Homo-oligomer: A and B are copies of this chain.
Amino acid sequence: MNDRMTPAPDQGLPAPLLAELQTRFGPRFSTAAAVREQHGRDESSFVDVNPPDAVVFAEDVADVQALLALAGRYAVPVIPFGAGSSLEGHLLAVRGGISLDVSRMNRVLAIDTADMTATVQPGVTRMQLNQALKGTGLFFPVDPGADASIGGMCATRASGTNAVRYGTMRENVLALQVVTAAGEIVHTGTRARKSSAGYDLTRLMVGSEGTLGVFTEIVVRLHPLPEAQSAAVCSFPGIADAVGAAIDIVQSGIPIARMELIDANTVRMVNRYSKLDLREEPMLLMEFHGTPASVREQAETVEALAGEHGGAAFAWATDPEARSRLWTARHHAYFAAIASIPGCRAISTDTCVPISRLAECLLESVREADEMGVPYSLVGHVGDGNFHFGYLIDPHKPEQRERAELLNARLVARAIRLDGTCSGEHGIGMHKMDFLVQEAGLPAVELMRAIKRVFDPQNILNPGKVLWGAAGQGALRRSWATSVATPP
């Protein structure tokens, strides 16, 4: 339970293991400082964690099996690494060990257009997959913003801007090939659209953050490219008005494809960063997919609903270039925020609540952040009830981190009280383990822990993530720097 309290000395990897790794992987194995550093960073705000002791670049499933077998023999942690875009410290070697880089396992193995499925290796990124789908009339919808690897998206149960219409990785992963901690290959699921055959290991693996197995093949669902698309942007006098309109739109049952909130402050950051001249007011960015007639119908209904909440400057675009200009604001929001204060990092919140609770949860949290004077960006997949504050901090100033984490903790407590979750799409990582206990309760967390022990008895798979003290023995090589501890 309290292994975070018992730091072990930094011992590095045992010499015989180093020799075996060198023999097995040759040039695909590295202990070079630059390579380790590169694998010891992600998009989270954690900057004080030591890098992994070594990096292995896997090229096929046999590499993954061999590494896990070796790691198991020496009880050394293995941390799967895809594109490095985690926001919650998933990739950080909090107990040392080996970073398992799967970015070279980046082949699209099959595209079955008739069945609307694709089989990919874990290092394939979402943009790469969509590039490969050009000309098929299909696309892979899950879009977390960053060009994440499909393996990583699978690990964090990612979603993003159009989950409101197309679902998250939970709905869009059909089957997996997984290597277990014991180095064994397991297949879960099939390419059939549905199944009632046995326990749903696929869904158990999706969202397991590298702690139950390493994905080596992933079958995802594809969707037909809509015949017509249009994007619309609408500004509102205040953030409460924008949220009110979003709620009405969801409740109307319109199959909106995307609906993103951006607060006035963040529009300002984006204007500066991307040299745009968007109206600096809270805005909803929307996208409609369907036939030309249904897209027009949807947009008209939405414009009327927005108007009831003071929505003005309703502008829409159907050609791809104009659409992509509109979406620039949203896609650059994170980097625009980071760039707004030199050297800062963002502590990103990720609560998600039932839509009827969205206004209360969001507006109260805005008030709190404003009162405390913490700078932030604010964007939201409001169609899902999910939004992200990015509290901007100097990562080397503990008092700034503390204030931001206090805001985060209050926001999470509020979301849980409102029947929501601490994480809509980023995952738990090393940041929200206490929140998971608050949300799920100890009995559920004990079941998760029991599952972890069964799948990974030595706790070598990404230890120190999702669950505190999942194993309690073995592989505890180095503790997580106390400076990045989560709030109480």
A interface residue numbers (CB < 8 A to B): 112, 114-117, 156-159, 163, 167-168, 170-171, 180, 184-188, 190-201, 203-204, 206-208, 212, 223-224, 247, 251-253, 290-291, 293-294, 297, 350, 352-357, 384-386, 415-416, 419-428, 432, 435-436, 439-441, 443-445, 447-448, 450-455, 466-467
For residue A12, give the distance in angstroms from its CB to the closest CB of chain B: 31
List 6 A-B pairs, minimum CB-CB distance, nearest first: A224-B253, A203-B203, A114-B356, A115-B354, A195-B421, A191-B419
Q: Which of B168, B184, B293, B356 contacts A115 (CB 8 A)?
A: B356
A sample of 17 cross-chain residue pairs with beta-carbon separation below 8 angstroms, ordered by A number, consists of A114-B251, A114-B354, A117-B354, A159-B196, A186-B441, A187-B443, A191-B419, A193-B384, A193-B385, A196-B427, A197-B427, A197-B428, A197-B440, A198-B428, A200-B207, A453-B454, A454-B454
Is the pair A200, B203 in contact by a Cβ cutoff of 8 Å?
Answer: yes
Q: Which of B206, B224, B357, B452 contacts A200 (CB 8 A)?
A: B206
Is the pair B192, A199 in contact by a Cβ cutoff of 8 Å?
Answer: no
Q: How far is the CA of A168 from the CA of B445 in the complex (A)?
A: 26
Is the pair B352, A448 in contact by a Cβ cutoff of 8 Å?
Answer: no
Closest to A422 in B: B197
Q: Which of B193, B201, B386, B440 contacts A188 (CB 8 A)?
A: B440
Given A115-B356, A251-B114, CB of A196 within 8 Å of CB of B443: no
Is the pair A354, B419 in contact by a Cβ cutoff of 8 Å?
Answer: no
Q: How far is the CA of A200 from the CA of B212 in the complex (A)?
A: 12
Q: How far is the CA of A299 from the CA of B3 in the complex (A)?
A: 61
Q: How far is the CA of A448 from the CA of B112 in the complex (A)?
A: 29
Q: Which of B208, B425, B441 contacts A187 (CB 8 A)?
A: B441
Q: How far is the CA of A208 from the CA of B386 in the complex (A)?
A: 29
Q: Which of B187, B356, B384, B426 contacts A440 (CB 8 A)?
A: B187
Q: How far is the CA of A385 from the CA of B193 in the complex (A)?
A: 7
Residues on the B chain within 8 Å of A223, using CB? 253
Residues on the B chain within 8 Å of A435, using CB? 197
Task: For the A-B complex with A191-B420, A199-B212 known, give 9 more contacts whose Cβ atoms are closer than 8 Å.
Answer: A171-B171, A180-B447, A192-B353, A192-B415, A193-B386, A199-B204, A200-B207, A204-B204, A224-B252
Is the pair B192, A385 in contact by a Cβ cutoff of 8 Å?
Answer: yes
Q: How far is the CA of A195 from the CA of B203 in the complex (A)?
A: 12
Is the pair A352, B195 in contact by a Cβ cutoff of 8 Å?
Answer: yes
Residues on the B chain within 8 Å of A180, using CB? 443, 447
Q: Which of B199, B247, B384 contacts A207 (CB 8 A)?
A: B199
Is the pair B420, A196 in contact by a Cβ cutoff of 8 Å?
Answer: no
Q: Which of B116, B198, B252 contacts A448 (CB 8 A)?
A: B198
Output the residue of A290, A439, A445 with the most chain B CB within 10 A.
A439
Residues on the B chain within 8 Å of A448, using CB? 198-199, 201
Closest to A138 in B: B253
Is the pair A188, B444 in contact by a Cβ cutoff of 8 Å?
Answer: yes
Is the pair B196, A158 in contact by a Cβ cutoff of 8 Å?
Answer: yes
Q: Which of B170, B192, B200, B425 contacts A419 (CB 8 A)?
A: B192
For residue A168, give the distance in angstroms from its CB to the closest CB of chain B: 5
Q: Which of B186, B199, B451 contacts A199 (CB 8 A)?
A: B451
Residues on the B chain within 8 Å of A422, using CB? 197
Closest to A424 in B: B194
Q: Which of B194, B290, B416 contacts A386 (CB 8 A)?
A: B194
Residues on the B chain within 8 Å of A112, using CB? 354, 356
For residue A448, give the distance in angstroms from its CB to the closest CB of chain B: 5
Residues on the B chain within 8 Å of A114, using CB? 247, 251, 354-356
For residue A165, give the distance in angstroms from its CB to the closest CB of chain B: 11
Output the residue of A156, A199, A253, A466 with the most chain B CB within 10 A.
A199
Q: How far is the CA of A252 from the CA of B224 in the complex (A)?
A: 8
Is the pair A196, B451 in contact by a Cβ cutoff of 8 Å?
Answer: no
Is the pair B224, A192 in contact by a Cβ cutoff of 8 Å?
Answer: no
Q: How far is the CA of A115 from the CA of B297 in the complex (A)?
A: 23
Residues on the B chain within 8 Å of A455, using CB? 447, 450
Residues on the B chain within 8 Å of A426, using CB? 196
Is the pair B194, A198 in contact by a Cβ cutoff of 8 Å?
Answer: no
For residue A90, give the distance in angstroms from its CB to the closest CB of chain B: 11
Q: How far is the CA of A117 from the CA of B188 in the complex (A)?
A: 29
Q: How far is the CA of A278 from the CA of B441 in the complex (A)?
A: 55
Q: How far is the CA of A21 from the CA of B39 in the complex (A)?
A: 59
Is the pair B186, A170 in contact by a Cβ cutoff of 8 Å?
Answer: no
Is the pair A425, B196 in contact by a Cβ cutoff of 8 Å?
Answer: yes
Residues on the B chain within 8 Å of A199, using CB? 204, 207-208, 212, 448, 451-452, 466
